[in-house]
């Protein structure tokens, strides 16, 4: 349910148009049923993906038909066989042999076609899933950062991984079971009516009882399951909170209170779980009981028919095995339907991701920015993440080649916004950003970004070797270049001390490195390419003094002769900057050099005095 509500804004928007489209088309979905329209739309999309494998699908359907027919034929052959074994001295071995040979042939055909069908279905399903997953991931690399920033990464990951998995399960089950299930039911009915209409009628009348019972129980237990999962959720919430902050719990001696609260919910959960577990487990015995009834009635009516010479004993035995089989596909189909519904919901979430509008394509006449001199200009720039909350308004800045710009302000004041605009992670709302006099929107994103070197405070490393990470921006770098870059970034000495040196594998997100070491690697990564312009984010804390001094040196070395934007925290950097941008609540409130800003006695002066001048 939760999933559904998160996708609704996109999905229903899409669904609306889809319903219209399909109405205009041949499907004729009534306008009053948007959810159905949406489902139809999603099914159509899925069929598009499956369409690439249409021969496989066709073959699979044929094999399914063969499998069903031969499977149903086997009991009849068994019946025929039984009919040839009447009593002592009355067994027709010659014909029996023929029947049994026929049976062997039928069985072999069933087995082969069943295996082939399963194999083909597997292949189709997994390839469709691969296609969708690859498409979704490729799309991810092409989405505006705005989407990635504003959606929790867990949500996007679960769409690409869990949802697609769920979808593949549903697709596979749907494939293998829905079609064969329906076919089996129809086939069984056909065979039964062909052999004896009266007994067939008995089966047809009694079996629905089993379905009714099953669905009645399912409906009854739904509420119980809901209560169980709600209480479970409540308990998990408490566990999450208390264990997640176990240290605080212990520091304040809250263990007993936590235990009491836990016990209370746990007791309630026991009651609900017992109900849910017990009532849901009634389904199987109940349907088994109804099946038993079917079996008994077939037995009695069949025997009656046999007594009157309308049915042979062999046919009766075929009927009995049909009666056993007949309800199975019904149960399977109801399982498949839920599975399919889940799969559709998952597919909708995946498509919602794929349908996100990608980045604006590059202008046709976009130029390649080569070796920028480092003139950066922001002219009358307006920008905001949310139209209701204006952020940057009429911002102007001219930076000459080689200048250093320090961006200062309290945490969370939006310093990264400037980086977002410079790197064109976001486009300005109006005004323009220019590099060497050219609007960056008229350049290829690739060439613009290649001219910037970026070191962020949130150090991001790939899982892979240290070498791969340093060479991330220049894959064809030679060993000497890599070591040189590491040396200049003051990273060489600690890399050498690692167990495998440059071949040491960094675990996900650099888990086995300290924060400072990660930052040095990020610097080395930029050092290797050394583009003409730099964007640097100084570390606020959590790095020891020695490493910090090294990072400072590395930064200084990099900045020589390059236009640099530095999100600055230390006074020395700020004082040495050619220009200071003072930001507050997302706005650039002041700009100028240190002396000028101090004289102005504004926000910067206050910040400076409280931060650096002591109390």
Partner 1 sequence: MRNLLKYFKDYKLESILGPLFKLLEASFELFVPLVMAQIIDTGIKSRDMGYILGRGGILVLLGIVGLACSLTAQYFSAKAAVGIGTRLRGDLFRHINTLSYNEIDTAGTSTLVTRMTSDVNQVQAGINLTLRLFLRSPFIVFGAMIMAFTINVKAALIFAVAIPLLSIVVFGVMLITMPLYRKVQKQLDQVLLITRENLLGARVVRAFNRQEDETAKFGQENDTLVRLQVFVGKISALMNPVTYVLINGAIIVLIWTGAWQVEEGVITQGEVVALVNYMSQILVELVKLANLIISISKALACANRISGIFALKSTIVEKSGDAYNGSGPMPSATGSEAVPKVEFRNLDFYYAGAKEPSLSRISFSAMKGQTIGIIGGTGSGKTSLVNLIPRFYDAAKGAVLVDGVDVRDYSLSGLRSKIGIVPQKAVLFKGSLRDNMKWGKKDATDQEIHRALDTAQAAEVVMSKEQGLDLMIEQGGKNLSGGQKQRLTIARALVRQPEILILDDSASALDFATDAALRKAIREDTKDMTVFMVSQRATTIKNADQILVLDDGKLVGLGKHQELLENCQVYREICLSQLSKEEVAQ
Interaction residues for partner 1, span 100-139 (CB under 8 A)? 100, 103-104, 107-108, 110-112, 114-115, 118-119, 122-123, 126-127, 129-130, 133-134, 137-138
Of 509, 530, 592, 605, the one binding partner 1 (CB under 8 A) is 509
Q: Which residue(s) pair with 454 in the sheet?
A: 535
Q: Kindly report the number of other CB atoms within 10 A of residue 524's CB atom.
A: 28
Spell out the alpha helix ranges (H) of 501-544: 515-529
Question: Is residue 150 a contact point for partner 1 (CB under 8 A)?
Answer: no
Q: How far is the CB of 570 from partner 1 (least distance, A)?
A: 7
463: helix, coil or strand? coil
Of 48, 251, 387, 388, the one binding partner 1 (CB under 8 A) is 251
* CA distance linking residue 467 with residue 216, whole number of Å: 63
Kindly identify the residues of this chain, within the stretch 524-553, that bind partner 1 according to CB under 8 A: 525, 529, 541-549
Kindly identify the residues of this chain, within the stretch 223-242, that bind partner 1 according to CB under 8 A: 232, 235-237, 239-241
Among residues 29 and 567, whose Cβ is nearest to partner 1?
A: 567
Per-residue tokens: 116: 């082939």
Among residues 112 and 182, whose Cβ is nearest to partner 1?
A: 112
Of 250, 341, 398, 493, the one binding partner 1 (CB under 8 A) is 250
185-193, 489-497, 513-521, 592-600 -> range binding partner 1 (CB under 8 A): 513-521
State the helix-helix crossing angle for 197-244 and 255-280, rounded to 10 degrees. 180
Kindly identify the residues of this chain, within the stretch 24-53, that bind partner 1 according to CB under 8 A: none
Residue located via tokens 């007993």: 256
Kindly identify the residues of this chain, within the stretch 345-404, that bind partner 1 according to CB under 8 A: none
State the helix-helix crossing angle for 313-354 and 197-244, rounded to 10 degrees. 40
Helix (H) / strand (E) element for 99: namely: helix 93-140
Write the binding mask 451 to 490 for partner 1: x where contact by CB under 8 A, - elsewhere. -x-x-x---x-xx--------xx-x---------------
Among residues 31 and 264, whose Cβ is nearest to partner 1?
A: 264
Among residues 37 and 314, whose Cβ is nearest to partner 1?
A: 314
Spell out the alpha helix ranges (H) of 281-414: 283-307, 313-354
From residue 443, alpha-carbon distances to 381, 400, 434, 486 in Å are 18, 20, 10, 31
Residue located via tokens 């991001």: 460
As a three-state string, the secondary structure of 168-195 is HHHHHHHHHHHHHHHHHHHHHHHHHHHH
Among residues 18 and 72, whose Cβ is nearest to partner 1?
A: 72
Kindly identify the residues of this chain, within the stretch 414-453, that bind partner 1 according to CB under 8 A: 423, 425, 445-446, 449-450, 452
Residue located via tokens 């005004």: 431
Question: Is residue 96 a contact point for partner 1 (CB under 8 A)?
Answer: yes
Among residues 40 and 564, whose Cβ is nearest to partner 1?
A: 564
329 neighbors 184 (Cβ within 8 angstroms): yes
Per-residue tokens: 529: 């390419």
| Count of residues interacting with partner 1 (CB under 8 A) | 149
Question: Is residue 516 a contact point for partner 1 (CB under 8 A)?
Answer: yes
Per-residue tokens: 15: 């669904």
Question: Is residue 8 a contact point for partner 1 (CB under 8 A)?
Answer: no
């Amino acid at each position: 349910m939760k999933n559904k509500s998160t996708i609704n804004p996109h999905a229903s928007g899409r669904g609306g148009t889809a319903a219209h489209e399909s109405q205009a088309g041949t499907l004729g979905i009534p306008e009053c049923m948007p959810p159905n329209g949406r489902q139809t739309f999603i099914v159509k999309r899925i069929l598009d993906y499956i369409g690439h494998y249409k021969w496989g699908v066709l073959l699979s359907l044929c094999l399914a038909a063969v499998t069903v027919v031969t499977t149903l034929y086997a009991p009849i052959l068994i019946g025929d066989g039984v009919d040839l074994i009447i009593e002592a001295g009355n067994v027709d071995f010659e014909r029996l042999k023929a029947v049994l040979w026929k049976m062997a042939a039928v069985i072999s055909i069933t087995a082969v076609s069943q295996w082939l069908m399963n194999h083909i279905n597997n292949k189709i399903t997994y390839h469709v899933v691969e296609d969708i997953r690859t498409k979704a991931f490729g799309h991810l690399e092409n989405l505006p950062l705005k989407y990635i920033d504003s959606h929790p990464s867990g949500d996007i990951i679960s769409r690409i991984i869990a949802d697609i998995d769920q979808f593949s399960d549903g697709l596979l089950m749907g494939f293998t079971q829905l079609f064969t299930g329906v076919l089996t039911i129809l086939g069984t009915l056909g065979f039964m009516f062909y052999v004896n209409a009266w007994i067939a009628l008995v089966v047809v009348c009694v079996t629905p009882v089993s379905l009714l019972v099953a669905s009645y129980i399912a409906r009854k237990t739904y509420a119980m399951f809901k209560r169980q999962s709600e209480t479970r959720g409540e308990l998990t919430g408490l566990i999450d909170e208390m264990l997640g902050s176990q240290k605080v719990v212990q520091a304040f001696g809250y263990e007993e209170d936590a235990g009491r609260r836990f016990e209370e919910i746990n007791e309630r959960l026991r009651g609900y779980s017992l109900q849910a577990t017990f009532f849901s487990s009634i389904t199987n015995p109940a349907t088994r009981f109804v099946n038993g009834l079917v079996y008994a009635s077939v037995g009695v009516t069949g025997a009656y028919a046999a007594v009157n010479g309308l049915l042979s004993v062999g046919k009766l035995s075929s009927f009995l095995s049909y009666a056993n089989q007949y309800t199975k596909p019904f149960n399977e189909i109801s399982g498949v339907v839920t599975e399919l519904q889940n799969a559709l919901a998952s597919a909708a979430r995946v498509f919602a991701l794929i349908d996100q509008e990608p980045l604006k394509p590059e202008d046709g006449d976009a130029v390649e920015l080569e070796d920028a001199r480092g003139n950066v200009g922001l002219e009358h720039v307006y920008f905001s993440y949310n139209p209701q909350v204006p952020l940057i308004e009429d911002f102007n800045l001219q930076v000459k080649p080689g200048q250093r710009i320090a961006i200062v302000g309290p945490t969370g004041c939006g310093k990264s916004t400037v980086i977002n605009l410079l790197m064109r992670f976001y486009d300005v709302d109006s005004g323009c950003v220019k590099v060497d006099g050219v609007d960056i929107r008229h350049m290829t994103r690739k060439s613009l970004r290649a001219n910037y070197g970026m070191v962020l405070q949130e150090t991001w490393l790939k899982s892979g070797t240290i070498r791969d990470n340093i060479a991330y921006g220049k894959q064809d770098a030679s060993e000497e270049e890599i070591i040189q870059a590491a040396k200049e970034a003051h990273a060489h000495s600690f890399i050498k001390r690692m167990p495998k040196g440059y071949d040491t594998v960094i675990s996900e997100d650099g888990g086995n490195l300290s924060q400072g070491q990660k930052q040095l690697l990020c610097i080395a990564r930029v050092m290797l390419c050394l583009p003409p312009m730099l964007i640097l984010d100084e570390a606020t804390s959590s790095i020891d003094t020695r490493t910090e001094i090294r990072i400072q040196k590395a930064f200084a070395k990099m900045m020589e002769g390059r236009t640099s934007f530095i999100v600055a925290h230390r006074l020395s950097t700020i004082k040495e900057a050619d220009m200071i941008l003072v930001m507050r609540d997302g706005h650039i409130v002041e700009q100028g050099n240190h002396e000028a800003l101090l004289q102005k006695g504004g926000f910067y002066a206050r910040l400076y005095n409280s931060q650096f001048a002591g109390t």
